[in-house]
Structure 1
Amino acid sequence: MKNFIPLTILSLFGAGVLMLTDCSPVQAQHTTSQSLDLKNVKTLQADIQINAGTLKLTAQNTSKADARFTYSKDAWKPQVKYNGEPDKGSLSIKQPEEKNTNMKDKDRNEWNIILPQGVATSLKLRMGAGESNVDLRGARLTRVVMDAGAGEFNVNLANTSVSELDVNAGVGEVNLDLSGKRNTDLKASINGGIGSLNLILPRQTGVRVKVNGLGGLDSNGLKKQGGYYVNEAYGKTPHTLEITINGGLGSVDLALEN
């Protein structure tokens, strides 16, 4: 089924309903609101790409995926596509490609996206320059792939079911929270860039971390065991976090949750 929907038109999909509205509340500023009903969807593939700006992504106890975009330039209008099959959905939200996304002081490109907490989701995030606040605590995640460019990136995956995590950090600061209860094993690969990587780890679930790279390392609360850093629960719990960090030229800070 063709999947791009003109604004102000309500279309029915096999797995959901996507509604879009567009308005320009102030000069040189546009706002687009969107809502997707996923009450019949059991698994979701979500691909989100923002070239520059501010991203806020959360998971809530709802059957809908909602989004609101505010942007200064028409060329930054997100491209939204959805494919729905019985029990399965595929959602793509992307900023149009351009050679350089130059943002001036008065420019805005702000994305606020809400995903349903109870839908098993495989998520791909590609974030360019700017600030990202991703709070998916408690979400039914299966896999997360994240490419971070330049800026500050705050990602909270506490108490999630994610079993596969791949992170590529660029220039700036990445704060990643993997704390909380686990009902699955986690295999994570994190490639650090130039800047700082701050990782919060659980106390009650076994953790083993391998760190490669030339940057500085703080391993607060973890002990060295062979070529790894482990917590007190390692080898004693039903599930384990196995994490490999390639630190790049930045600093790595490992800390156990409070």
Structure 2
Amino acid sequence: MKIKILRLMSLIIIMVSLLLVISCTTVGDLRTEYQSVDLDNAEYVRTEITMGAGELKVAGGAGELLEAEFIYNVVQWKPEVDYRISDNRGYLTLKQPSRIGDVFITNIRYKWNLLLNNEIPMDLDITFGAGNGNLELGSLHLTNLDIIMGAGNVLINLEGSRSLARFDMIVGAGDANVKLTGDWKNDLDFNIKGGVGEATLQLPSDIGVRVDISGGIGKINAKGMKREGNSYVNDAYSESEVTLSIKIQAGVGEINLEIVE
């Protein structure tokens, strides 16, 4: 958890440097660049994506390890992509540069469209500050997923994930919509730590779900679920072979639990 707190602090520093520091940075011509990364001989990949501010889209379907489209109009923010392999393990990093002296202007365009390979086993780590995110991750061969978001809005679709076992998420002042429906093949441990934002979880009706809640949450909407103390369960809980175990620790905010038939 200490590492995640340090990452959150780093994200805040990136956002401050992007949003508050005034200099001669100007908006230039809109650039669209494409980049792909070959898997090579890696049997497993850890992918880290860091964006301070902008629009982020991530999905499966890449023929290579990564197929990326970068759209931006500030040359200082050219995305940094690095890939290395050690002992058949690949390490892929994508990062938005943070350079003191940049100013955030209203007509800046900054957008990443990323496709990742569906077949390679992967741990995915996303740090996302301000903006909009659309993460269609259900087709990926994920084992572990970590997401830290600041003041943005993000949609995370994990419908029918075939391999995800652990998902940790920290939400600041943003809004998150997480889709966990579909035909899950294994148990999931999902932990959320929240701030003052809103989180909506779309949950399956035919797979067991238990949601444990702690902290000073402002409002909980749990239509279609049964309350057991500080926990909520669906009708399939303890009846199905697979269970989604969700723990929410939050401050002032709103939690929406939605059972999807």
TM-score band, normalised by shorter chain: 0.7 to 0.9
Change in Cα spacing, 1:63 to 1:71, as seen in structure 2 (3 Å) is closer
Cα distance in 2 between the residues matched to 1:257 and 1:100 = 47
Runs of 4+ more than 4 Å apart: 99-102
Residue 127 of structure 1 is matched in structure 2 by 128
Q: Which residue of structure 2 lines up, in the alignment, with residue 55 of structure 1?
A: 56
**Aligned equivalent of 1:249, options 245, 249, 252:** 252
Q: Is the 8 A contact 1:154 1:175 kept in 2?
A: yes
Show the counterpart of 2:166: 164
Question: What does residue 149 of structure 1 align with?
Answer: 150
46-55 or 155-164, larger mean C-alpha shift:
155-164
**Structure 1 residues 214-233: aligned runs within 5 Å:** 214-233=217-236
Q: Is the 8 A contact 1:168 1:192 kept in 2?
A: yes
**Contact kept in structure 2, 1:185 and 1:241, CA below 8 Å:** yes
Counterpart of 1:89? 90
CA gap of 1:120–1:97, structure 2 versus 1, over 3 A, is: same
SS of equivalent residue, structure 1 residue 150: coil
Calculate percent identity across the aligned residue pairs. 34
Could you list the runs of 5+ residues in structure 2 that have no partner in the other structure? 1-26
Paired residues of 2:213 and 2:231 also in contact (CA < 8 A): yes
User: Following TM superposition, by how much is the alpha carbon of 1:40 offset from its aligned partner in structure 2, in angstroms?
Assistant: 4.3
8 Å contact 2:28–2:75 — kept in the other structure?
no
Task: Please state how far the C-alpha of 1:62 moved relative to its aligned partner.
Answer: 3.2
Distance in 1, matches of 2:243 and 2:175, equals: 26
1:235 to 234, 238, 241: 238
In structure 1, C-alpha distance between the alignment counterparts of 2:226 and 2:143, rounded to whole Å = 29
Maintained 8 Å contact 2:118/2:140: yes
Q: Which structure dedicates a bigger proportion of its chain to strand?
A: 1
CA spacing shift, 1:202–1:170, aligned 2, 3 Å: same
Q: Within 1, Cα distance between the matches of 2:128 and 2:99?
A: 14
- Local SS of the residue matching 2:241: coil
Q: Distance in 2 between matches of 1:143 and 1:133?
A: 18
What are the equivalent positions in structure 2 for 1:17-96 lying under 5 Å apart? 27-38=28-39, 40-60=41-61, 62-85=63-86, 87-96=88-97
**1:126 CA displacement:** 0.3
Determine if contact 1:164/1:188 at 8 Å carries over to the other structure: yes
Give the SS at the match of 1:189. strand
Query: CA–CA distance in 1 between the matches of 2:101 and 2:194?
Result: 24
Provide the aligned length of Structure 1 versus Structure 2.
233
Judge conservation of contact 2:62–2:115 (CA < 8 Å) in 1.
no
TM-score, with structure 1 as normaliser: 0.84
3-state SS of the aligned residue for 1:204? coil
Question: Partners in 2 of 1:53 and 1:61 — Cα distance?
Answer: 22
Q: Look up the match of 1:204.
A: 206
The CA RMSD over aligned residues, in Å, is: 1.9
- Is the partner of 2:49 in helix, strand or coil? strand
Structure number with higher helix proportion: 2
The residue identity in structure 2 corresponding to 1:246 is Q
Quote the Cα distance in structure 2 between the aligned partners of 1:58 and 1:99: 31
Task: Report if aligned partners of 2:28, 2:74 keep a CA contact under 8 Å in 1.
Answer: no
Query: Which range is displaced more, 104-113 or 123-132?
Result: 104-113
Give the match's secondary structure for 1:28. coil
